[in-house]
Amino acid sequence: MSDILSQLDAVLAERKDADPDSSYVASLYARGLDAILKKVGEEACETVMAAKDGDSDHLVYEVADLWFHTMILLAQQNLSSDAVLQELARRFGLSGLEEKASRTT
């Protein structure tokens, strides 16, 4: 399943240098970090509202939007979904309490 994430990572990387008029993603990159962060925030709010509505199809749709825009943020920061997957793998098998206690403040 992470194949689709790798494919999306590749497309997002290609769009970083594309003409802003050629795609939505290229235009978002051109508008800069603040525009990307604003979009991630909007999608997070829409995800919360969809969850509160109790419509599972709408929730999945909004989470997909949130993941997509978060992946744009990662790519803008020269990261990929693989970095997140590695972090999740590192945490796998740890209790949430143990993982939280291991963080440095």
Which domain CATH number covers 68? Answer: 1.10.287.1080
- Residue 63 sits in which domain range? 2-102
Q: Please return the burial class of 25, using the count of CB atoms within 10 Å of its CB with bins 0-12, 13-18 and 19+.
A: buried
Q: What per-residue confidence (pLDDT) applies to 105?
A: 63
Number of domains the chain contains: 1
The 10s digit of each residue's pLDDT in 12-68 is 999 999 999 999 999 999 999 999 999 999 999 999 999 999 999 999 999 999 999
**Residues 76, 33: contact at Cβ < 8 Å?**
yes
